[in-house]
Amino acid sequence: MPHNPRISETKIQKMWNDKNVAKTTMDFSKKKYYCLEMFMYPSGKIHMGHVRNYTIGDAIARYHRMLGEAVLHPMGFDAFGLPAENAAIKGQAHPKIWTDTNIEYMKVQLDRLGFLYDWDREIRTCEPDYYKWNQWFFLKMLEKGLVYRANSPVNWCPDCETVLANEQVSDGKCWRCGSQVFMKNMEQWFIRTTAYAEELYGNLEQLKEWPQEVILMQKNWIGKSEGAMIDFGIDGSEKKVTIFTTRIDTIYGATYLVLAPEHPLVDEIT
């Protein structure tokens, strides 16, 4: 009799679900292991990128279960924001109905692939029970002075009507909708990550098993640089231009400085 994986896999997966084998064991005598993959956007059916990513995570979680550890392996859906909203508009459906329908369908797909998740700990970022904690964290950071508002040039997508990170701009276009992106000055929220820059930079030395190219990427992102801030006067103005240099010893040889086109002083002194 030929093997029919649809029958055998469905039978085994039903047994897993009936026994709830993926449920997190609350046995504190066991070594704990937390395995979390990046949440997916519920904007459609899963694709091979999902299969690759979640196969790796599932294999790791299974390995640690086989070691007898208490494994927490949840799954969630990054369902709050423009990707889900744009997909709903394209599908001509209410965002909530579109999102919930896609999530339920994608959960079936994940189960059919044999991935084991503790669905009792499922997270949907569009639900108030989740994002109320985002709001709580933001207010705590605001209380501690770790978030602030300031004017700054940003990447602006006119169709999505939102700011984009540099990583979200590809060949001058929005990664989400493909519209041409342009620079725009606007007031926005910033997180004072510089307050932790020294600590973050120093702790990179502890990541002995990380690939060196990833360590270098993190160092460049933190952007630690040692030097001096120098003020230059402006003829006919009480204002000054402050520059940063890593070679203060060569400052007496400076003959000119250049302002970036988006610098706020450009409009004032030209």
Residues 27 and 112 in one domain: yes
Domain finish residue from 126, 145, 161: 126
The verdict on residue 214 lying in a domain is: no
For the chain, the three-class secondary structure string (H helix, E strand, C coil) is CCCCHHHHHHHHHHHHHHHCCCCCCCCCCCCEEECCCCCECCCCCCCHHHHHHHHHHHHHHHHHHHCCCEEECCCEECCCCHHHHHHHHHCCCCHHHHHHHHHHHHHHHHHHCCCCCCHHHCEECCCHHHHHHHHHHHHHHHHCCCEEEEEEEEEEECCCCEEECHHHEECCEECCCCCECEEEEEEEEEECHHHHHHHHHHHHHHCCCCCHHHHHHHHHHHCCCCCEEEEEECCCCCCEEEEEECCHHHHHHCCCCCCCCCCCCHHHHC
The verdict on residue 186 lying in a domain is: yes
Residues 44 and 70 in one domain: yes
What is the spatial distance between Cα 214 and Cα 220, in angstroms, rounded to a whole number?
A: 10
Residue 68: which CATH number?
3.40.50.620
The verdict on residue 216 lying in a domain is: no
Range of the domain at 135: 130-191
Domain finish residue from 191, 207, 238: 191
Residues 113 and 155 in one domain: no
User: For the whole prediction, is pTM greater than 0.85?
Assistant: no
The verdict on residue 147 lying in a domain is: yes
Q: Are 126 and 144 in contact (CB under 8 A)?
A: no
| Rounded alpha-carbon distances, angstroms, from residue 229 to 19, 98, 197, 226, 243 | 64, 53, 18, 10, 6
What's the token pair of residue 114? 């044999």
Of 73, 125, 120, 130, which is closest to residue 99 (Cα–Cα)?
Answer: 125
pLDDT by residue, tens only, the chain of 270 residues: 788 888 888 888 888 888 888 899 888 899 999 999 999 888 778 999 999 999 999 999 999 999 999 999 999 999 987 777 877 888 888 989 999 999 999 999 999 999 999 999 999 999 999 999 999 999 999 999 999 999 888 999 998 888 998 888 989 999 888 899 998 888 989 999 888 989 999 999 999 989 999 999 999 888 888 899 999 988 888 889 999 999 999 999 888 888 888 787 887 777
Residues 122 and 12 in one domain: yes
Task: Say which residue the tokens 């799954």 belong to.
Answer: 75
Q: State the total domains in the chain.
A: 3
Residues 121 and 138 in one domain: no
Residues 136 and 111 in one domain: no
Q: Are 193 and 141 in contact (CB under 8 A)?
A: no
**Cβ-count burial of 41 within 10 angstroms (0-12 exposed, 13-18 middle, 19+ buried)?**
middle
- What pLDDT score was predicted for residue 76? 95
Sequence-distant (≥ 6) Cβ neighbours of residue 120 within 8 angstroms = 23, 24
Residues 122 and 46 in one domain: yes
- What pLDDT score was predicted for residue 166? 87
Q: Are 107 and 119 in contact (CB under 8 A)?
A: yes
The verdict on residue 46 lying in a domain is: yes
The verdict on residue 96 lying in a domain is: yes
- What pLDDT score was predicted for residue 203? 94
Residues 111 and 146 in one domain: no
The verdict on residue 217 lying in a domain is: no
- What pLDDT score was predicted for residue 176? 80
The verdict on residue 44 lying in a domain is: yes
Residues 233 and 158 in one domain: no
